Amino acid sequence: MNPLRALTFDVAALLLSLLTAWLGSRAASAAPAFDCEHALTFAARTVCASPRLTALDEAVTREFLRNLERVEDPGRLHHEQNKWLQEERDACPNEACLEQAYLARRQRLANYPKGLGREACVLPGLTLPADFAVLAATANLRSPRPHQIDASGNSADEIDVVVNHPTQPVVLFLLGDRPTIWKLRRTAATRLLLVIADGPYRQGIAGLEPDIPTFANSQVMRMQCGIVAYGYLNPIARHLFGRQVKMAYRNRDAEIPSITIGDTPPADATFVTSDATRPESFYDKEMPLAGQSGLDLALAKALVRKATEDDIRAWNEAAAERLLRAKPGQQRKVSPPNVGSAYVVLKLAVLPSDLRDVEFIVPRGEPVPAGRSYLTTIYNLNDVTCSGSGCNRTRVDIVVEHGVPR
C-alpha cells in the first residue's frame, strides 16, 4: 500500500476513535453532540433545553459514528448527515417536529446500507429461472401529489411505470428518494418475476397482479441487506441474484411522472394491470393534504389568510424592538417576511407538508401549528422568533437608527 495512503487511513481512524471516545464521555452527562453555550439556531437551543431531544441527538450521533466505521463511502454519509441537519432538523418550527425528525433520522441510520460482503443477503423462499434480467428505475419529480402515505411530512410522488421487456423475464428494483406510489403496467409479452421497492421513505406498489411477489420497504430484506439505495444496487443485485443490473431507467422530464422500462411499446401493445392494489389504498386519510392543495384548502376554510403590509409592519416593529433590547454581541439580523408569500395563521393546527418558499406569521396568542415543511418559515410573534428555511435569506434587513426602525 502507498505509505501516504496508509498514513491517511491511520489518521482518519485515529480521529474517528477520538470522536467516538469524546461522545461516550459526554453520554454520561446527557449532553447533545454540540456545544450548547454557543447554540445559535432555534433547533439547537430547543435540543439543549429538552432532555428527550438531547437523548435523541446522542442516539442519532452514535448511529452516525457507528456507520462511518463500516460504510464503503463515508463521504457520502457525511453529505447526507449535513443535508439532514440543514434541510430537515433546522427547518423545524417546534419541539414536536424536532422529535419526529430525530426519530426518522435514527431509523434511517439504523437501516443504512453497509456495503459488500454480507453473505446473509438473501430473500427466503424465492425461486427464479436461470435466465432473467435485473432492471431498475428511479425518479425525480418536481410536482408531487397532494397526499401523504407516511409520517415523514413529505407528500407522495405517484409514478406511472410501463414495463416492456419481452426478451427475458424481469426482476425489478424501484427506488424512491421520497414517499412514492409506483403504478405499474406491463405489456402482455413481459413476464415480471419479482418487484422490490425501497428507499428512505414508504414505497407503495399498485397495479400488480396478486401472484407476483413484492418486497416494499421489506423489514426482512432490510435486516439482511440494508435499505436498497441507488449507489448499492449492483452489490445487492449480485448478492441476491448473482448478476448485475442490466439497465437503470428514470423519468426524462421532472414534470412528467412516468417511466418506460425496456423498449418503447408498439402502438398496438396490450397492457396488463390489476385493481387488486389501488394507489388510493396507500393514502393516509388522517393526514391533511400537502403542498399547494393543502394551502388552498386552509385558505378556503379560513384557517389562514394572506398577509398584508400591516402584518409585515407588525412583525418588523416587534423584531426591531427585540433587537434594541438585545445585549451587545447578541443582536441578530432580522429577515422580514415577504408579503407576496406570507400567510397569517388563524386556526391552522397542522402545516401542510411540501410547501415551497411559504411563510407563516403566528399572531400573539395563537399556537404555532404542528408538523413541518422543510422550505417553510415560521415568524412567531409570541416570542418574536423565526424558524425555518427563510430566516437567514438575503433580504433587506431591519435597520435601527436612533431607536427607530426604518
- Let me know: does 118 contact 239? Beta carbons within 8 Å: yes
Domain ranges of the chain: 3-110, 133-282, 291-405
What are 8-65's pLDDT values in tens digits? 334 344 444 444 444 444 444 455 666 676 666 788 889 988 999 999 999 998 888 8
The pLDDT, as a whole number, for residue 327 is: 59
Residue 163 is placed in which grid cell?
A: 414495463
Strands 180-187 and 271-272: antiparallel
Query: What is the chain's mean pLDDT, rounded?
Result: 79
What are 138-170's pLDDT values in tens digits? 987 766 778 888 877 778 899 999 999 999 999
User: CB-based contacts of 225: which residues, under 8 Å, 6+ apart?
Assistant: 113, 118, 121, 236, 239, 240
Per the model's pLDDT, the better-predicted residue between 26 and 248 turns out to be 248
The pLDDT, as a whole number, for residue 151 is: 75
Q: Give the C-alpha separation, 34 to 46, whole Å.
A: 12
